[in-house]
Amino acid sequence: MRFADRAAAGRALAGALPPGEWADPLVLGLARGGVPVAHEVALALGAELDVAVARKIGAPGRPEFGVGAVTAAGEPIFDLHALSALGLTPSDLATTCEAERREAQRRLDVYRSGRTVRVAGRDVLIVDDGLATGVTARAALREAREGGPRRLVLAVPVAATQSLGLLRTEADLVVCPHERFDFRSVGRFYRRFDQTTDAEVLALLEQHRHD
């Protein structure tokens, strides 16, 4: 199974959502790659679209290896098994954590331009283009939970089974039409998987506000 692109994945994900009424739904795309997927979900639900920003905390000397994640305001979360395997503690990553927190805030400033997003009492869907380790999704879910949503949903078109299982304790509902044990990477499930740019995120947010 491979999606043509993120928009196609978003339409497939929207079709997998359970039927029924949604209470003032808010769809938050994990920036950046989750936003094109979230855009399609928001269109299908007639929902407000905005962004969630969580930054991966990489291991020292191996920034691509995420051992944690942080949002602009929430507490950092860590993969304690990964830290233990590397002989690290959260305090060893304090400098990296603060740098990523600042970058998360910078991106929020760019994407929202001072707008506030109301979470309390709403059905909130956190959407990404796929779930490998799930560490950034976990950080985004925890931050959204602090806002007091009526229901918190994680929705992804494809995910690693093990990671998805861990996140079922963070969300009230998890929607994923394609779970895979042999996951390896998100990109292998897409025919087109270009990096999403800030300009594309802003264009989708603007387009949605005028649809």
Residue 124 within any structural domain of the chain: yes
Calculate what percentage of the chain has a pLDDT beyond 90.
78
Residue 85 within any structural domain of the chain: no
Q: What DSSP designation does 33 have?
A: T
Burial 166-180 (b: 16+ CB within 10 A, else e): bbeebbeebbbbbbb
d(CA 109, CA 51): 11
Residue 95 within any structural domain of the chain: no
Q: Which residue ranges in the chain fall short of pLDDT 50?
A: none
Work out whether strand 151-155 and strand 77-78 pair parallel, antiparallel, or are unpaired. Answer: unpaired
203's tokens: 């264009």
Handedness of CA 128, 124, 164, 68 (dihedral sign): positive
Which CATH number belongs to the domain containing residue 176 in this structure?
A: 3.40.50.2020
Residue 101 within any structural domain of the chain: no
Number of domains in the chain: 1
Angle between helices 34-45 and 198-210 (to 10 degrees): 10
The Cβ of residue 88 has, within 10 Å, a number of other Cβ atoms equal to 17
Residue 24 within any structural domain of the chain: yes
Residue 184 within any structural domain of the chain: yes
**Residue 101: strand, helix, or coil:** helix
d(CA 77, CA 120): 23
pLDDT at 113: 86
pLDDT at 210: 63
Residue 190 within any structural domain of the chain: yes
